[in-house]
Structure 1
Amino acid sequence: MPIPWLAIPCTDSETCEQLKKLFRVSVTPCLTLLDRSGKVMSDNGAHQYFELEMDVYMDQAQNYFVEHVVTERMPMLGFILNWSRSRTSFGRSSVPVSELKGKIVGLYFASALYSPCDVFTQKLVEVYNKLKEGEESFEVVLICLEEKSKEPFEKIFRGMPWLSLPFKDERCGKLIRYFGLIAVPTLVILGPDGKTLHPNAAELVEDYGTQAYPFTAEKMVELEEINEARLKAQTLESVLVEGERDFVLGKDGIKIPVSQLVGKNILLYFSAHWSIPCRNFLPELIKAYHDIKAKDEGFEVIFISRDRDESSFQSFFSGMPWLTLPFGDERIVSLSRAFKICGLPTAIALGPSRQTVTKDARELLTKYGATAYPFLGDRL
């Protein structure tokens, strides 16, 4: 689709690079909003646009972004679902939507063609069944994003114990727009009164399981305390080991036990070949890596690939001098959730005494190079 606005020619790479540095662009898409005087009103316009899903007049944008949040835009669920309508599901009887009244409801936005949804579904099924066994007043409604073929919808819903809106139901699109959906999986939690308790509890379910229920503000405070306790007890093994997966890979596929990395400064490098910022940052990181290693052998980088196919992963990793997790490793998803990775490239620094030193190591390396190491003190 052609864009209707002005553009800097792609051949003017010098100006593009100057603007990237000026506005500190590290991930894409990035939308920086300027007022008429050239003052930056927001450097997170892309996220805010998708989240609020509305055009904002430029003179009022700054105040609007501050004053409006997702949870303030959610009146009763019946406004969209229409309580008088019923739900039809593959291979199951219809259930009146009115039966959801008074319950805590999770609207589960998912795609049958996106593997992270499959992984999260397994966790959500586990949590859902445990809450049902405990006779909690909780229900989940699938909002499937598939529109072209009914087969993927039937396939994903067949393994779910909860409810669903019918395939290609018009309310699916309304809910997607209403809640400002920007990613899947997303689990919107609605309270017994139909108002939003949490705009996306997927991370909470993944991290805390049934402990996250009933997703109230009081429960969020409790979970924060649990998280602080986790951070204090964090070890390299707790971060990188899952079951029998207690290793990373070196060159030529050599398995390196995680235990051999204990006591070192570790950089978890989340990246992907398809991302231009990632490809641009890689030479900087390689140079810094060699400079740091020349002075401190107790430093190591672990590549956490978000590539979409193994050939891209192998091609990208072949130019890296450090370690990696295997392509498609289950730990990639859990690490991305644990550190709340929402943009690439991202570098997380872990200290020798097991703590997370900083989640902004990529920015520090760009600004200071190898002298940013070990990412402490005035460099933070």
Structure 2
Amino acid sequence: VGDHSGQPVDVVTALQGKTIGLYFSAMWCPPCRQFSPVLRDFYRSVNSPEKQLEIIFISCDLDEEQQQYYEKHVHDLWLHIPYKHQGLMKDLKRLFRCWAGPKDAAELGVDDHKHGIPTFVLLNPDGSVIDPAGSEIVRGWYMQMVQAERQRMMQMEREEQ
């Protein structure tokens, strides 16, 4: 596993005592590009003031160049699995039944698809699954934030009148 600058990271130290999010995503995927900024805000919120969550980006990109671009411009806060470790990424896709279409399914040799991308799997610090569809937790958090902001704006408008 590497950090946003490509430097290797001691996984045991980085993940110790933290909730872990596995984020399956790709630059070419419009829903992924929409969800990633929301996940980024969620990550910042959950980790303020104390870091409680570590996200590992698992690329579904078509090549290393796409993955590196996506990491640099969108996933720069998170850990990632380097593109050269395709075997590990495929094992995780197979384990969580998450992939991006028929080509991925054929390469993985499986056909019981559970999740498309983006998928955000939440794990306890011990590695047990909290929620295989953690993206719904993130979306729920986002909707609460939007609603709170609307209420704040309405309150400000009432106070101005």
**Same fold, TM-score > 0.5, yes or no:** yes
Residue 103 of structure 1 is matched in structure 2 by 18
Matched, 1:171 2:112: no
In 1, distance between residues paired with 2:9 and 2:143?
25
Question: Superposed, which structure 2 residues align to 1:108-127 within 5 Å?
Answer: 108-127=23-42
Residue 4 of structure 2 contacts residue 78 of structure 2 at CA under 8 Å; is this kept in 1? no
Q: Percent same amino acid among aligned pairs?
A: 29
SS at match of 1:105: strand
In 2, distance between residues paired with 1:210 and 1:162?
23
The one-letter code sitting in structure 2 at the alignment partner of 1:193 is D
Question: Superposed, which structure 2 residues align to 1:38-57 within 5 Å?
Answer: none
Question: Superposed, which structure 2 residues align to 1:217-296 within 5 Å?
Answer: none
Equivalent of 2:130, from 197, 205, 217? Answer: 197
Kindly provide the CA deviation profile for residues 330-364 of structure 1, in whole angstroms up to 9, marking residues without a partner as x. xxxxxxxxxxxxxxxxxxxxxxxxxxxxxxxxxxx
SS at match of 1:118: helix
- Flag as ranges the 4+ runs of structure 1 deviating above 2 A: 88-92
- How much does 1:168 deviate? 3.8
Residue 150 of structure 1 contacts residue 167 of structure 1 at CA under 8 Å; is this kept in 2? yes
- How much does 1:164 deviate? 0.5
Residue 6 of structure 2 is matched in structure 1 by 92
Residue 186 of structure 1 contacts residue 201 of structure 1 at CA under 8 Å; is this kept in 2? yes
Indicate the structure whose relative CO is greater, using CA pairs within 8 Å and at least 6 residues apart.
2
TM-score using structure 2 length: 0.71
Residue 58 of structure 2 is matched in structure 1 by 143
- How much does 1:89 deviate? 4.6
- How much does 1:130 deviate? 1.5
Residue 244 of structure 1 is matched in structure 2 by none
Residue 20 of structure 2 contacts residue 54 of structure 2 at CA under 8 Å; is this kept in 1? yes
Residue 258 of structure 1 is matched in structure 2 by none
- How much does 1:94 deviate? 1.3
Residue 66 of structure 2 is matched in structure 1 by 152
- How much does 1:162 deviate? 0.9
TM-score using structure 1 length: 0.31
In 1, distance between residues paired with 2:143 and 2:92?
25
In 1, distance between residues paired with 2:142 and 2:20?
16
Matched, 1:180 2:94: no
In 2, distance between residues paired with 1:116 and 1:93?
28
In 2, distance between residues paired with 1:177 and 1:144?
13
Gaps of 5+ in 1: 1-86, 212-229, 231-237, 239-380
CA distance 1:193–1:89, change in 2 (3 Å): closer
In 1, distance between residues paired with 2:78 and 2:18?
14
- How much does 1:111 deviate? 1.1
In 2, distance between residues paired with 1:174 and 1:204?
24
CA distance 1:90–1:156, change in 2 (3 Å): same
Aligned residues: CA RMSD: 2.2
CA distance 1:88–1:210, change in 2 (3 Å): farther
In 2, distance between residues paired with 1:157 and 1:124?
14
SS at match of 1:133: coil
Residue 131 of structure 1 contacts residue 210 of structure 1 at CA under 8 Å; is this kept in 2? no
Gaps of 5+ in 2: 99-114, 151-161
